[in-house]
Structure 1
């Protein structure tokens, strides 16, 4: 079995889409777990696919320590020239399988985090990421860190704002990956309905949807006022 960065990232974006839809389908009070999963999967999908774009240019770009990566590559190449491990039959060893360091001073390869991936995309590959999208990525990443490492408490207005940020980021990041991952139709695989729209048609659809929700909210306020 081979599960690549590309497959992993696309799968996470699919799960993010599903959880966004499930959150909006059910009563909010009983569907916050969908919102939590949407944050985690969206953040993960973005990080993995940014790393995929970097790795296409050069695999070393996704590692924190490039010198250690080169050491691992050298050992891996030398191993391939010698006798293969019996237990490695039909298995493709990677730089993560190589023993690095000596004795008690073992070393380990680490890949970069999301913030570093954004920097390398922008300044090593010269790929633009809009300020609005980068801000949204940072926000979602912060929420993800709170969820996975501690806890999170939000009032209803903050939850509503977060949901809008998630939907904004999901829509725009699909456009980004559709443009920069040309070997697969990412948008069609993640969101076939979204793929059927042109960018202009989708933006118009989003505006109409926002107007609809705004008018519905205002009508509820009016009804509540009449009942008082």
Structure 2
């Protein structure tokens, strides 16, 4: 069996953080201490081994001799034996020693000029210390200190090894394509200056992982047709400082819009907080456009509806250039929907009445026509010409819009 230096390191590091995830779940489940310790021990051993091997890989990339403690007679002899085909790797020869972990850190910093500050070095040596205690003696470790130390170290590793090794490292850690692009961008250009964009990208990466959506890059566009997946994605994209607003095809707009639910019949409800209105549509698909990472553009979500018939005997209808909708009411107390024109007329009169006929309610605007009903974007980020796309009469269906985005990206980046 033969495994390369980088394959060996990537495998150990990935397993190390898999063990840490197992430990974290055991902690949540209040598992017994020996069981938790076993998972945490495996995490420390694998993480430290993975880092040490990957650091040696980085040294070898710079120059093969940097791997070895000194140019001894035995190392010179090993070079001869390799040339003669007696060994494949220099370290297979007796008496040839590679550098210590601490020395590899110093050579990467001082010889190769790679950025390892004191905080990063201290974290690396701390993990090595835990490894040594586990390997050579009985162990007393503070679980919280070890788990937090490994978590803190992960960001350092992604930044450092993402830049030193490139996408091969990030892909080897099981990251999505978007995550790889994000980490690589940070490694090359530093943290994003726009905090909202940073939070938006990080949240989108997590949403893609949560919903097993793969193959999404930056920049890119993709379609989701499954209503349950679409609902999960749209709901998870909000939160932690990320607020999506929406513009609708009937020219209504909101600075804060939440996708509340999709009924068994496929009716999606979007609640806009600023005007307390429910917008409904018969769900067809969503198209999500992912912009470049290092700009101030927001992801764009276009929600498409299917054509449906109006509700009620005498509906209150409204038509525009490329939409048809019905106005209704939702009674707050019991959630009943009222769809007759008379109810809608009465609700308008109730606003100015001291003794309203209808109980407290909120308006419903239901889109009856097929096509793009609205787009959503992160408040505080740019959304380019999304409003013009929404108003266009020749936008086509979800697949057509997605392909249009892809064509646009291909033209702006012809080399891919």
Same fold (TM over 0.5): yes
Deviation at 1:202, TM superposition (A): 9.2
CA separation of 1:191 and 1:202: change in aligned 2, threshold 3 A: farther
Structure 1: runs of 5+ lacking an equivalent: 81-87, 99-106, 209-228
Structure 1 or 2: more strand by fraction: 2
Tell me how far apart the structure 1 counterparts of residues 92 and 139 of structure 2 sit (CA, whole Å).
Answer: 37
The equivalent residue for 2:121 is: 134
Structure 1 or 2: more helix by fraction: 1
Pick from 68, 74, 81: which aligns with 2:80? 74
Say if 1:133 and 1:172, in contact at 8 Å, map to a contact too: yes
CA separation of 1:165 and 1:202: change in aligned 2, threshold 3 A: farther
Deviating above 3 A after TM superposition, structure 1's stretches of 4 or more consecutive aligned residues are 193-205
Pick from 62, 72, 95: which aligns with 2:90? 95
- Determine which structure has greater relative contact order: mean sequence separation of CA pairs < 8 Å that are 6+ residues apart, divided by chain length: 1
Tell me the number of residue pairs that the alignment of Structure 1 and Structure 2 aligns.
184
Under a length normalisation based on structure 2, what TM-score does the superposition of the two structures give?
A: 0.41
Tell me how far apart the structure 2 counterparts of residues 110 and 48 of structure 1 sit (CA, whole Å).
Answer: 14
The equivalent residue for 1:162 is: 146
Deviation at 1:76, TM superposition (A): 2.9
Pick from 36, 45, 56: which aligns with 2:41? 36
* CA displacement 1:27-47 (0-9 Å, x = unmatched): 352321111011111111111
Tell me how far apart the structure 1 counterparts of residues 12 and 159 of structure 2 sit (CA, whole Å).
Answer: 16
CA separation of 1:61 and 1:188: change in aligned 2, threshold 3 A: same
Under a length normalisation based on structure 1, what TM-score does the superposition of the two structures give?
A: 0.72
Deviation at 1:66, TM superposition (A): 1.8
The equivalent residue for 2:137 is: 150
* CA displacement 1:179-225 (0-9 Å, x = unmatched): 1103x4312321415547565449977xx6xxxxxxxxxxxxxxxxx
* CA displacement 1:83-135 (0-9 Å, x = unmatched): xxxxx7xxx6332445xxxxxxxx51111121010011011111111221111
Tell me how far apart the structure 2 counterparts of residues 9 and 204 of structure 1 sit (CA, whole Å).
Answer: 26
Tell me how far apart the structure 2 counterparts of residues 197 and 32 of structure 1 sit (CA, whole Å).
Answer: 33
The equivalent residue for 1:180 is: 164
When the two chains are superposed, the root-mean-square deviation of aligned CA atoms in Å is 2.6
